[in-house]
Structure 1
Amino acid sequence: MSQVEVAPPKHQQDEHVESIEAEAEQSTKSALASQDVSGVKKDDALQLIEDMGYSTILTPENNKKVLRKIDLRLLPILLAIYFLQQLDKSTLSYASVFGLIEKAHLHGKMYSWLGSVVYLAQLVFQPLVSYLLVKVPLGKFLAVSCLLWGIALSCMTAANTFASLLVCRLFLGIFEAGIAPAFIAVTQMWYRRREQPVRLGSWYAMNGVVNMFGSLITYGLGHINSSVFEPYQIIFLFFGLITVGMSAAILFLMPDSPITSKFLPEEDKLVAIERLRMNQQGMESHEWKWDHVKEAALDIKSWLWFSLMLTISIPSGGITTFGPLIVESFGFDQLNTILLNVPFGAVQLIATMGGAWLATFWKMKSPVLALLCLPPIAGCCMLLNIPHDGSHKGPLLVGYYIISVYPGITPLIYSWSAGNTAGETKKKVTTGILIVGQCVGNVIGPTLYTTEEAPLYKRGLTANLALFCVLIVLILLNATYLFFLNKKHEKQRVAAGKDAKVVDHSMHAVGAVVTDKEGAPIQQVVNDNAFKDLTDWANEDFVSAYT
């Protein structure tokens, strides 16, 4: 069992600095030599190193400085985009409380399909999204996506029939299809694997913020008296126009990559590259590789990610769409129903960020994922067994609130997948497969609930309970498979004349010395393959984070 010594003796520190300097020199030579004889570059990071003529030494000091710059530029933009995306999708559930169902004459599964069609559109467009994310600059992609989905939401103001609402929601889904995959790509491009869970969790935590502040904003909009617009129409128009305005800010502020960013000086760009060297995943390449596509399709773990995301997204889709109606079924009026979603959002926020922090602290994701499944299991049991009458409103709300721990699961699956996949095209295709699972789940989820089943919603809650149990089994299967992949890479390293045991330093703090039980430093991953755009199968230096 290895341990991290943050402050080793001085003679070890000197030796460690010398090893870092030697490694940096070797990394530069390797980087400059890692283009093939035809001169075709493998990763855009290599071109920058070649243009500069040297690499740089990554230290705790310059790492901290550059990471802070990256966070201050990227995180506010990502948080704002995801806040608006989740808010825009949630407008349907808010509008349902303010008369949309009655005004648009929705009945049977019509309302359920308005929730599902967004994810159905995202499912169909994932192959195109995967291709575009390789070929198109990420900043421009996000700006255009935000503009188009804002227009689609604004158009819902004029929709007053099931058909017109369905068309608007369809286009909303198409234009939002690339947001989560693009965010995962941004996280892979800018952050070390140790840093990814908290960053992925931070933007996904906007689900909770939306349930808190979105509910309060909607509460205020619901009090507007207008002779022209219904309350639900005001909700659509207000959030749609804000989203359109946000797209302009994204266009000017969101960088496409560390290599082309304008907010980082040239030296800091080299630091940003060195920060990612230990990920063994590359940084950026705009070449679409069909052998990566084939590998992603044949890789068992691609389908394990798919299964994990499908299993969590079915309950997520149903509860997101029917959450306010479930609370209303406890016996609350319209405005109180909206306000009572604020604590639901607070629990989501705490669970998402708490789970991400715990996974970073433990350097393990699978135990945290299994732990996050337990409260939703308990919550579903409570809602299925507690009588739905006026004297049990409190316990019913508690059951509903502890179900809301489930959003902490999705970003950890994102980061587990993102940290275990390498190769530019394979990363995008694998993310696409994962998002397809999410979309299928979100299409199925709302259909398990119908307005006719109020107030118990027994079928939907029973299905959700079973799926949270299945999720724990899938987590264990995935961890086991990744463990055996590491064993396979150990044999490949031995065959290549390297040490079998290496340490994935992307999971440790920069500058930390990792030692074995006797105190001897453990070899870190060889850097020669870092920017060759190799997949995790092809790169024997790649270490899977199986836990």
Structure 2
Amino acid sequence: MTQPDKDNIDSIHMEGGIKDQHDTVAATTAATPGDSGKEVSDPIAAIKTKSGRDKAAQFLKQVDHQVTITPADNARVLRRIDLRILPLLLFTYCLQSLDKTTLSYASVFGLIEDTNLKGDQFSWLGSVVYVAQLVFQPLIAYLLVRFPIGKFSATMVFCWGAVLCCMTAARNFGGLMATRLLLGSFEASVAPTFVAVVQMWYRRREQTTRNAAWYAMLGVVNMLGSLLTYGLGHIKSTLHPYQIIFLFCGAITVAFSVVMFLFMPDSPVEAKFLNDEDKIIAIERLRMNQMGIGSGVWKWDHVRESLLDPKTWLWFSLMFIISIPSGGISTFGPLIIESFGFDSFTTILFNIPFGAVQMVATLGGAWLADRFRMKSPVLLLLCLPPIAGCSILLSVGRSPGDRAVLLAGYYIISFYPGISPLIYSWSGQNTAGDTKRKVTTAMLFIGQSAGNIVGPLLFRPSERPYYTRGLTANLALFAALAVLIAVGMLWIRILNGRQANKRRAMGKAEHIQDASMADRRKVGTQEEQEGLGEKAFDDVTDLKNEDFIYVY
């Protein structure tokens, strides 16, 4: 790589790494002899023979030249990463969301009557997916550490698509329960995998918008999915409309799993769409995350620290609370609209604006969090519309003249999906260490799964049109969520104080800037930033790295 003129560069050289400084980033990496005393000519092969350290650290030890990374280099590589990684995440999550919500669409096309569902059976069909996801989260955490993430995700996509196709043959509650249980088992990997992928490829400043991008597919599904099922519901066939929905969505998912297998890389180190120089840039630009990209080694001390870390239980509680209304509304949403006095096809069409508001709230919340570099105040802001929406649905009658107000209340409830991706990012950006990240993410999704189990059970078809119990519970939960977010802000402040005390005791600068969250032009001087990033690729946890800065 051609180096820029030295007069225009303020380079900072570190052992095996880089540091942000004004407009230019410099990386100094040197060849290191292998275990046999000879230099390793194949970095990838060398990585596969080692264990215990992050893949990035092992890769960088094999580089035999100095690399200077300019802002243009960083922007170019980031653009290439976005063009390859984001489309795969977006389309896969769109399929997963569509496949999971086919049940709610099927409910307005005669599924309940044709399969003779009684009492809480339909509610349990909504919850059982999350029972499976809850049970399988610990296994998913282990598999994400031990197996190549690209191949693993492609396999899971194929499996859940095949199961959805088989759901077409279900004729009763037992058959539907069995297929929904299997569907949840394979879908359990999707969101944890995507959180891990974003952590592996993006700086902390970039993670919020990328997590929001794939999560915003929920809104796309509620719009396009409603139109899709509206069209499929009009097909004249020997199959019931809901069976056509299951078969069509499952077949698309199976086909896309092949695309995932061929094009989803396992890590920046193994990415075929990057040349060797770009791989170095892709890795080095993540140094100030202080998180690494992945070690491939399961570490029980990380597991123990994760379970004893109060932050883990904060993320768990936040996801549990937000997922209760999420699970209930996603399952019963079309039925709630239908209870306003609309027929099946009109109900599906009126569900489209719900998806549009979801997408605006998710992307808008991420934009605000990125602009102000804080997630917690935006989370508090996003709690307000659902509180207002639940209040409207509880206080307004169900006469034909109330439909406009009821729809408005229902639509502003749909701001709640913007909350979950911000919690993903808040958790991910405050946790370091490969195994600890995966275990913490597993705990987060155990909370999400538990909440999604409870959510549909708060609603019953027999309680239409008011659904008082479910809406009252949701109102209380959104208020409790706001209180917990405030507690989290206080705890982050305490943790940063402890980190500053550690640095002072070690003779380091007490107050440092977080280069992973700041613009490069605003990063501090060399003296202020000296020594940062030394443990970035050592696969140490956030509590063991005094340079780790927690973010609000």
Distance in 1 separating the partners of 2:8 and 2:425: 30
Q: Any idea what SS the aligned residue of 1:278 has?
A: helix
Q: Any idea what SS the aligned residue of 2:60 has?
A: helix
Q: For residues 54 and 295 of structure 1, do their structure 2 counterparts lie closer, same or farther at Cα, with a shift above 3 Å needed? A: farther
CA contact 2:219–2:354 (8 Å) conserved in 1? yes
Residue matched to 2:408: 398
Q: Give, as a single letter, the amino acid of the residue that structure 2 aligns with 1:177.
A: A
CA contact 1:49–1:55 (8 Å) conserved in 2? no
Residue matched to 2:192: 181
Distance in 2 separating the partners of 1:417 and 1:26: 25
Matches within 5 A, 1:55-204: 56-204=67-215
Q: Any idea what SS the aligned residue of 2:523 has?
A: strand
Residue matched to 1:18: 10
The Cα of 1:276 is off from its aligned counterpart by 0.4
The Cα of 1:60 is off from its aligned counterpart by 1.1
Counterpart check, 1:446 vs 2:456: yes
- Match 2:354 to one of 344, 347, 354: 344
Counterpart check, 1:513 vs 2:519: no
Relative to structure 2, which stretch is displaced further, 40-49 or 418-427? 40-49
Q: Give, as a single letter, the amino acid of the residue that structure 2 aligns with 1:512.
A: R
Q: For residues 467 and 35 of structure 1, do their structure 2 counterparts lie closer, same or farther at Cα, with a shift above 3 Å needed? A: farther
The Cα of 1:513 is off from its aligned counterpart by 2.7
The Cα of 1:491 is off from its aligned counterpart by 1.0
Matches within 5 A, 1:297-316: 297-316=307-326
Distance in 2 separating the partners of 1:41 and 1:457: 53
Counterpart check, 1:540 vs 2:543: no
Residue matched to 2:534: 528
Counterpart check, 1:374 vs 2:384: yes
Distance in 1 separating the partners of 2:489 and 2:112: 44
What do residues 44-69 of structure 1 show as CA deviations (whole Å, max 9, x unaligned)?
11222122224533321111000000
Counterpart check, 1:223 vs 2:234: yes
- Match 1:484 to one of 491, 494, 498: 494
Q: For residues 144 and 24 of structure 1, do their structure 2 counterparts lie closer, same or farther at Cα, with a shift above 3 Å needed? A: closer
Q: Any idea what SS the aligned residue of 1:56 has?
A: strand
Relative to structure 2, which stretch is displaced further, 46-55 or 472-481? 46-55
Q: Give, as a single letter, the amino acid of the residue that structure 1 aligns with 2:12.
A: I
Q: For residues 383 and 25 of structure 1, do their structure 2 counterparts lie closer, same or farther at Cα, with a shift above 3 Å needed? A: closer
Counterpart check, 1:318 vs 2:328: yes
The Cα of 1:19 is off from its aligned counterpart by 3.7
Relative to structure 2, which stretch is displaced further, 480-489 or 82-91? 480-489
The Cα of 1:21 is off from its aligned counterpart by 5.0
CA contact 2:30–2:65 (8 Å) conserved in 1? no
Residue matched to 2:427: 417
Relative to structure 2, which stretch is displaced further, 35-44 or 433-442? 35-44
What do residues 355-410 of structure 1 show as CA deviations (whole Å, max 9, x unaligned)?
00100000010000000000000000000000011111000000000000000000
Q: Any idea what SS the aligned residue of 1:57 has?
A: strand
Residue matched to 1:10: none
TM-score under structure 2 length normalisation: 0.92
Residue matched to 1:355: 365
Q: Any idea what SS the aligned residue of 2:298 has?
A: coil
Distance in 1 separating the partners of 2:496 and 2:317: 21
Q: Give, as a single letter, the amino acid of the residue that structure 2 aligns with 1:71.
A: D
- RMSD after superposition: 2.2
Distance in 1 separating the partners of 2:99 and 2:265: 24
TM-score under structure 1 length normalisation: 0.93
CA contact 1:351–1:408 (8 Å) conserved in 2? yes
Distance in 2 separating the partners of 1:104 and 1:158: 11
The Cα of 1:237 is off from its aligned counterpart by 0.4
Q: For residues 41 and 160 of structure 1, do their structure 2 counterparts lie closer, same or farther at Cα, with a shift above 3 Å needed? A: closer
CA contact 1:143–1:248 (8 Å) conserved in 2? yes
Relative to structure 2, which stretch is displaced further, 29-38 or 265-274? 29-38
The Cα of 1:23 is off from its aligned counterpart by 7.9
Matches within 5 A, 1:194-343: 194-226=205-237, 228-343=238-353
The Cα of 1:312 is off from its aligned counterpart by 0.3
Distance in 1 separating the partners of 2:192 and 2:18: 34
| Runs of 4 or more consecutive aligned structure 1 residues displaced over 4 Å after TM superposition | 13-16, 21-41, 519-522
CA contact 2:16–2:61 (8 Å) conserved in 1? no
Q: For residues 119 and 525 of structure 1, do their structure 2 counterparts lie closer, same or farther at Cα, with a shift above 3 Å needed? A: farther
What do residues 479-533 of structure 1 show as CA deviations (whole Å, max 9, x unaligned)?
1111111111111111221111111110012x31335xxx998437711111000
5+ long unaligned stretches in structure 2 = 20-26, 38-48
Residue matched to 1:4: none
Distance in 1 separating the partners of 2:80 and 2:358: 28
Distance in 2 separating the partners of 1:384 and 1:109: 22
CA contact 1:218–1:235 (8 Å) conserved in 2? yes
Q: For residues 54 and 494 of structure 1, do their structure 2 counterparts lie closer, same or farther at Cα, with a shift above 3 Å needed? A: farther
Distance in 1 separating the partners of 2:124 and 2:522: 54
CA contact 1:504–1:524 (8 Å) conserved in 2? no
The Cα of 1:30 is off from its aligned counterpart by 8.2
5+ long unaligned stretches in structure 1 = 1-12
Q: Give, as a single letter, the amino acid of the residue that structure 2 aligns with 1:361.
A: R
CA contact 1:193–1:506 (8 Å) conserved in 2? yes
Residue matched to 1:473: 483
Distance in 1 separating the partners of 2:428 and 2:413: 26
What do residues 221-270 of structure 1 show as CA deviations (whole Å, max 9, x unaligned)?
000011x2001100000001110001001000111100000000100000
The Cα of 1:33 is off from its aligned counterpart by 8.3
Q: For residues 270 and 328 of structure 1, do their structure 2 counterparts lie closer, same or farther at Cα, with a shift above 3 Å needed? A: same
Q: Give, as a single letter, the amino acid of the residue that structure 2 aligns with 1:191.
A: Y
Q: For residues 523 and 338 of structure 1, do their structure 2 counterparts lie closer, same or farther at Cα, with a shift above 3 Å needed? A: same
Distance in 1 separating the partners of 2:117 and 2:506: 64
Counterpart check, 1:51 vs 2:62: yes
CA contact 1:503–1:524 (8 Å) conserved in 2? no
Q: Any idea what SS the aligned residue of 1:52 has?
A: coil
Q: Give, as a single letter, the amino acid of the residue that structure 2 aligns with 1:50.
A: K
Q: For residues 278 and 329 of structure 1, do their structure 2 counterparts lie closer, same or farther at Cα, with a shift above 3 Å needed? A: same
Q: Any idea what SS the aligned residue of 1:532 has?
A: coil
The Cα of 1:15 is off from its aligned counterpart by 8.7
Identity rate, percent: 57
Distance in 2 separating the partners of 1:32 and 1:477: 47
CA contact 2:150–2:266 (8 Å) conserved in 1? yes
Q: Any idea what SS the aligned residue of 2:546 has?
A: coil
Q: For residues 216 and 525 of structure 1, do their structure 2 counterparts lie closer, same or farther at Cα, with a shift above 3 Å needed? A: farther
The Cα of 1:461 is off from its aligned counterpart by 0.3
CA contact 1:329–1:455 (8 Å) conserved in 2? yes
What do residues 142-192 of structure 1 show as CA deviations (whole Å, max 9, x unaligned)?
110000000111111000100000000000000001110000000000000
